[in-house]
Structure 1
Amino acid sequence: MEYAMSLEMGLSLLRGQRRHGRLPVMEHLSGISCEVITHLTQINPVMERHRVNEAFGRLAEIFDVDLLWGGGLPDCTREIYDWSDGQTVKKNARGEDVVQWGIFGAAHQEDGRHFTHVPKPDSIEAALAFDPSVYFPKTVEQYREQFTADYQRMRQNCGKTCLPIPHHYTTAFHWPLANFGFELLCEAGMEEDRFDQLMERFVEISTRITTAWSQVPDVAGFILHDDLAMTGGPIFAPDWYRQHIFKHYPRIFEPLKQAGIPIIFTSDGNINAFVDDIFAAGADGLNFEYMVDLSYLVENYPEKILIGNMNSHIIAAGPLDRITDEVNRCLSIGAQSPHFVVNIGGQITHDIPIDHLEHYLKVRKQLSEQLTSQTSHTT
């Protein structure tokens, strides 16, 4: 497949090549508010729904997005909500509760459950006996057909603007969280022998999914997601993860590795205890939040793709001088890595004011070019 020049920075990064001109960017755009979209693009996506994809294409250009996390730019097939009435929860077309996520709605999670369509087990015994194949029965061939169509749509929706990186959200640890919720996961996780058997069933599905994605034509990179920790650190002791979660990663990663597709692992929270495990399992890159020690990653993993570390709470809360300090902190450290990618951790959310985003963009673009020029002279 031939790519336009505007996509070359993202592709160069995934191929392990050095940057030129500015730091690469991966931003999450779907959480941006209607007010910000309208201000920046002169398109009101709620009033002009047929222009949603055009609006997000303009946003991607304004933010210099090279890599797009998880899928294509939104289009008019997505359900759009007018949140200006002050409501915090609405019903989607299927009658399910959703909460605001930009101009869209996100599933109203119950105790961390993403798969609210799956009946929640009513006991620890039922959770440990849970058979996910009942609800996720597709074969590799069926997944491959679905993912091929999905990826073609992602590429079409992004056009020449940026490169979409598809993802699998429930790599291993996130499977029981998404199905059971936090409390039941914690209880089931203590039944270690039977929990191992449960994880084998989840991992079999993830391996089918990565096998299918490895067979989709022209996929340049892939995101594997597991929220392993909270702001304060891991939910379980680190050795618990090594015994029950990380041992499965090489098997899940293998189809993509064999196909030569770079893997970008993504997790929320303070995962300092796990970065060595994640890279040892075969990840080619890491997308992480501000709690993670960026200096450690830059010093110890110069060959890896390092994405993130910008604190979204500071961008949202301000004031402007604090935003300047945060951008300087993150980019000054990150630019020392040849494969660092700018990213606001936790996404660009609808609570970030227009003036904060405009200031962030101004400082980020100026510093990005300055640091790239400096590092190009020293490498």
Structure 2
Amino acid sequence: MDNIAGKKSALTWAVNIAVVALVALWVFPTLGLLISSFRTGDQIASSGWWKSMLPTEQNLTLRTAGGDEAELVDGLYTVSGNLFAVEGIDPLDISAFGTSSRAVGAYEPGETVDMGDGEIIAVEANGDYVFTSVEEMSGRGQRVFVTAEVAPEFTLENYNNMLFDPNNIEGMSKAFFNTLTVSIPATIIPILVAAFAAYALAWMDFPGRALLIAAIVGLLVVPLQLALIPLLKFHNEIGIGKGYLGVWMAHTGFGLPLAIYILRNYMVGLPRDIIENAKVDGATDFQIFTKIILPLSFPALASFAIFQFLWTWNDLLVAIVFLIDSSGETTVMTKQIIELLGTRGGNWEILATAAFVSIAVPLVVFFAMQKYLVRGLLAGSVK
């Protein structure tokens, strides 16, 4: 009696927990990436994104005034002032300081430190310092490492550097438009081809139709990696390898089985009476396809378009194999981000910004068309 209509299953709570967990696994990393893209490099290094609204302790490298400002006081060359004023930043409350990068918090504020060679320094909690030396000073000031609590800080400078800085704009902007150049045709072409094929398999009778459907289902499980090398050799032989046309055809070939399967299942579920009435009225198969089937199949078309666009936009493997270019003219965003990992491995704010820029377009596409996703995937599953 547990399965009677109107009674909830005992596993409903497990399903709800699983859904919440999946949503959290998707939302939290995306939210963290977004928040990190607006933080400074120092704040990212000192605390996680979930602490972005709280003050954080950071280690800052400051300097005293230069030797040219030293004055002779009681036989000692003396430089005094405020460490924050020298660097031109807002004063902070220092909790510890040090004179070596190996011990940045070795001393308490107000403590007098003998640095050897007749040099002595004292730093107060507000950043005031007195630095003395028995020998005449010259050059830049003494380096001082301080630990201070820094208020939360958000900036648009990361996006400015990524999108408008002359040193970065050429690479990322070009990669952005290259990715659009790959993704849009690689989404439209398989939809067009698959729509015709799905209509034929759903509503036209011809010898071998069942075998074709079985072959398409079988192609769904063929690993992508298995076909890469043979397909690249074929593309090189016919002269379309290592270019946009080659990568379009590769994405089309890899996406067609799923596209045909989804669209065919949807079209089979459409009312037969509509098709038969149209044929009685003298409509051709092409007219039925363009004026009846396509408008009614929009949820399935949009469903596959989401999958195909997300796949091609985030693709790296196919782009590396079929879009190799040493000059960087056809570099896509996934490959450009990998290059940033090599050249700017320590600049986490730049990497976070670049990564979020790369997922912004797929997020817009997904949320704009998500209402068609479930309708298209479940089409044809029940009668």
TM-score bracket for this pair, using the shorter chain length: under 0.3
The structure with the largest alpha-carbon Rg is 2
TM-score normalised by length of structure 2: 0.21
TM-score normalised by length of structure 1: 0.21
Comparing both structures, which one devotes a greater share of its residues to helix?
2
